[in-house]
Structure 1
Amino acid sequence: MSESNLPLTEDAVRREQLSSDFANLREDFSKFSEECAFLFDAFAAVTREPECITEHTSEGVRHMCYWLKYQVIGYRGKIDEMQECWRVLSRKK
C-alpha cells in the first residue's frame, strides 16, 4: 500500500480539519474587514455633518457598534479555540 493510500491518523484528520477551519475563518474575516471599512467610512461621513445625526441615525450607529463588538468577540473566540487545538496537536508530535 502506498503512503498516499494509508488511512489518516486521528491527528492528521484534526490537522486537516483545523487547516480547513483556518481557511474558512480567513475568508470570513476578510469579508468582515470589508464590511468594517464601509462602516467606518459611513461613521466618518456622519461625524462631518453632525446636524444629520437624528434619533434614527444614533440608534443605527448604536446597533452597528453592538454588532461590531460581538463580531470581534466571536472572531477572538474562534481564534483562541483554533490556537488551543493547534497547541494540543503540537504537543502530540
Structure 2
Amino acid sequence: MSYVTVVDDSPAGTIENLDRLMNEILPEPDRLVARYAGTVDGKLCIVAVWDSREHAETFMKRDLGPGLRQLLGAAAPQSPPRSVGIEVEHSWVR
C-alpha cells in the first residue's frame, strides 16, 4: 500500500540544501515514488510518496539522520524531522 510522508519544517532549510542532500549526499531512496518540496512561511516543506510505510521508515531511520549530519554538521537535529505519515486508502490521478 502506498504511503505518504509530510514534513512541514525540514531541517535542510532550503531547496538548495535539499538538492545537495538528495543529489550529492544520500543514496537514492529505495522505493520512493515522488517527492515535492516548497516553502511555506519561510519553512521548507516536503511531501514524499513511497511504495510502503516500511520504505519510508527505513529511509528516515537509516539514511536521513546521517545525511543531515553530513550536510549541517553540529546544527543537525539528533532525531529525524517530525513528519505525518498517511497510509493511502484511495488516490485520484488527473
TM-score (normalizing by structure 2): 0.27
TM-score (norm 1): 0.27
Q: Which has the higher strand share?
A: 2
**Higher RCO (C-alpha under 8 Å, 6+ residues apart):** 1
Report the structure number with the largest CA radius of gyration: 1
